[in-house]
A and B are shown apart, each in its own frame.
Chain A
Amino acid sequence: MHLKKTGWWLTVGFALICLLPFAGVIAGSLRYPGPLPVTLEQYGRALLQNMTFYTGFWNSCWNTVLILAINIPISMLAGFGFSQYWFPGKDALYWLYVVLMLMPFQAVVVPQYIILQKTGLLGSRWAVILPCAFSTFAAFLLSQYMKGISRELLDAGRIDGLGEFALFWKLAAPLCRPAVTAAVVLVFFSSWSMVEQPVVFLDEISRFPLPVLLSRSAALFDGTAPACGILFSILPILLYRFCYNDLVEGISLGCVK
């Protein structure tokens, strides 16, 4: 009985700690040097007087959308391929995918830099999008989830005359909606906070995504950084709010029924 209560209290405590940073930025965003103790001045300045915020915000939006548009479809295909078929070299390739997933970006910074230089992409938006768009995390997550798809179902589809791609598109993909949602949300969160690639592959401030600007050039924001941080958090928090159920089901790898 005692142990039960302790666990409950610790969970409540941890949940509150999780909300602390959010509360911290909100509190910070409501202050501005002036007569009023609480003011929306920072928001006004960030939205109306600061071009840096807009360019950074749009760069983040574009990068994230393009990464998702490439990464999610190819990861769904790869996850299906890894989980439902055997082919020569599959285990080795899968292992390579997990190594790539764990590898920090800095381990391939030199060769990627050279490739981007040779293809003339260095300094452009694509220099930060393409390396991230082929990250293997989503493929790993989806293949773990797709392992739960029953063989019988796919075989039944084959008997009904569905081709292999139709099996994927008509049967597997709809069944994996929670996992696909989870992959979209997690890749979104990760791309939204992208820092590693921009700081080495970009040089013009006008191309930097907002997180890099916020941490590197706080002076550009003229005391409105907390408000910019909150405005920047709105999209991921909304996404989290509306995808919550699928996200939780997708990441807990609940078996496909």
Chain B
Amino acid sequence: MHKKRWTGLWFVLPSFLGTGVFTIFPFFSSIGYAFTKGTGKAEFAGFANFRELFRNDAYRLAVKNTLLFIVEGVPLLVVLGLLLGIVLAKWKLTFERWAILIPMALPTAAALLGWQAVLGENGPVNGLIRLFGGPTVDFFTGGFARKTLVFLFLVKNLGYMAILFAGAVSSLPKEYGEAFALDSSSRIRYLRHVILPSVRGMVLFVCVLSLMYSFQIFREVYGLYGDRPPQQAYMLQHFMNNNFYKLHYQRLSTAALLLVLGISAVLAVFLWRQEKIAAEEGI
């Protein structure tokens, strides 16, 4: 019995050791930076780094843009993913199923070259806009920059989320749908009373994945703009990256600590909800 107690940990151990050495231990050891001042002989600085960080304009801009991106991107991804998943669960759609996962397979660098060709000044989209008498739109550096990033984020990840939801929806018994499938108003009731309650657990899983992928938008931003993104696309990852280059380790560690605390808090709420759902469903 005593041996059994730790069996699970033995399985987790190889992964835990690696993660421990390269991420967990380094992260905890860097927390000290957030509370100290000076290089060489560091002295305790209390919350001075935090106060300074909150007054930093670049940091404020980065936090604002990151939050706006998440607030615009993640809910849209989850809702559209659910709707698309319902459609996919209903029809076979072999070609569409295959096509919507292509943006995930296409390397970011290649996809960006493609998008730059499609959305660029001389691309077909601007050609269409001009055809209808509109002005040329600068999708990448103008006021549209963040909206364009949200669009790229959606196209890249929507397929994955839709397949996840399609799996959950198609596991519902068919008779449920037939009992409702008469007209469009009962279709909406079916969505609200049958589909939504049964995919609640999946929604949380999708939210966690979406949040993870939303932080990976750095790849697109870096691919498009290098180290200097336009104001609209300047996010926390760039703030931290640039402070790393400038050797502002204390400022960077303070920002990192706050970010990790934020993620942990959001996740704690998610897990608490998930346990509640699991308890209600009696699993």
Residues on A facing B (Cβ under 8 Å): 1-4, 7-8, 10-12, 14-25, 27-28, 70, 73-75, 77-78, 80-82, 84-88, 90, 93, 95-115, 130-131, 133-134, 136-137, 139, 144, 164, 168, 189-190, 192-193, 195-196, 199-200, 210-211, 214-216, 225-226, 229-230, 232-233, 236-237, 239-240, 244, 247-248, 251-255
Contacts and interface: CB of A to CB of B under 8 A. Distances in A.
Contacts of A102: 208, 211-212, 215, 263, 267
A107 B26 CA distance: 11
A113 B240 CA distance: 13
Contacts of A130: 18, 22
Dominant secondary structure at the A interface = helix
A252 B113 contact: no
A81 B8 contact: yes
B109 A232 contact: yes
Contacts of B14: 73-74, 77-78
B219 interface: yes
B interface, size bucket:
35 or more
Contacts, number: 296
A101 B14 CA distance: 17
B221 to A, nearest CB: 10
A21 B118 CA distance: 7
A226 B113 contact: yes
B15 A77 contact: yes
Interface string B86-118: 111011010111111111111111111111111
B19 interface: yes
B26 A14 contact: no
25 contacts: A7-B83, A11-B88, A11-B93, A11-B96, A14-B158, A18-B155, A20-B118, A22-B110, A24-B115, A77-B15, A78-B15, A81-B9, A82-B12, A95-B268, A98-B271, A104-B237, A106-B218, A107-B240, A110-B244, A115-B22, A139-B15, A189-B107, A195-B222, A239-B105, A251-B160
In this complex, the member of A137, A237, A247, A248 whose beta carbon has the largest number of chain B beta carbons within 10 angstroms is A248
A63 B73 CA distance: 30
A74 B7 contact: no
A125 to B, nearest CB: 15
Nearest to A131: B22
A213 B252 CA distance: 26
B63 interface: no
Main secondary structure of the interface of B (DSSP, over half): helix
B150 to A, nearest CB: 14
A193 B167 contact: no
Contacts of B222: 195-196, 199, 215
B256 interface: yes
Contacts of B168: 252
The 4 closest A-B pairs by CB, nearest first: A85-B8, A252-B167, A81-B11, A111-B26
Contacts of A103: 215, 259-260, 263
A106 B88 contact: no
B164 A253 contact: yes
A144 B6 CA distance: 20
Nearest to A31: B117
B39 interface: no
Contact of A111 (B29, B167, B208): B29
